[in-house]
Amino acid sequence: MSIIIITILLAYLIGSIPSGLIIGKVFYKTDIREHGSKNLGGTNTFRTLGVKAGLIVTIMDILKGTLATKLPDILDADIHLLIAGVVAVIGHMYPIFAGFRGGKAVATSGGILLAYEPLLFLLLVLAFFLSLYLTKYVSLSSMIVAVIALVYTLITDITDIPLLIVLTVLAVFIFYRHRANIKRIIDKTEPKIKWL
């Protein structure tokens, strides 16, 4: 088996680690798939288990993307870093360890940028929390930062074609995974956060 295939498989398996399920079951005896939005991501963890658990799961999900993106360097595989990162995001959305029902791609996508473009990652974290403070919608803030990431890269580094392609793909993932949230925002039934 070639090192490229091994890298892709490992990236998918890393992305598939169900952080929310692990933290919920091990420390809270709760399967978060049975509560709230029934989603395995950080947002549902915040709602179901509280801020501490939500932060831990979000950080774990970010680091999945970061580790997977670094795999080609670690394993000396002749594959672009961003491809491994995107594979991890697919693993996060459709995890083999959790019946292919995962999160919405936001934190793990951020982890890719933490590994590949840390300054952009920090900018997006600030933009996310500013949007969250103003709107109280996690879903809307997630979609806003996906657009900001793409626009920022178009303005500052249009020559990085792989990054532009990946940011476009990730934005599509994020909007697609939030399609139910978009409808609820329009209908004014989307839950707002209370902790910020």
The model carries a pTM of: 0.93
Q: Give me the tens of pLDDT residue by residue for the chain, a chain 196 residues long.
A: 699 999 999 999 999 999 999 999 999 999 999 988 888 888 899 889 988 999 999 999 999 999 999 999 999 999 999 999 999 999 999 999 999 999 998 999 999 999 999 999 999 999 999 999 999 999 999 999 999 999 999 999 889 999 999 999 999 999 999 999 999 999 999 999 887 7
Question: Is there a contact between 65 and 112 (Cβ–Cβ < 8 Å)?
Answer: yes
Q: How far apart are CA 183 and CA 64, in angstroms?
A: 29
The residue ranges of every structural domain in the chain are 3-187
CB 69 within 8 A of CB 162: no
Q: Which residues of 82-118 are buried (b: 16+ CB within 10 A; e: fewer)?
A: bbbbbbbbbbbbbbeebeeebbbbbbbbbbbbbbbbe
Q: Return d(Cα 34, Cα 97) in angstroms, integer.
A: 16
CA dist 63 and 48 (Å) reads: 22
Taking a C-beta distance cutoff of 8 angstroms, is the pair 109, 149 a contact? no
For 59-68, b/e burial (b = at least 16 CB within 10 A) is ebbbbbbbbb
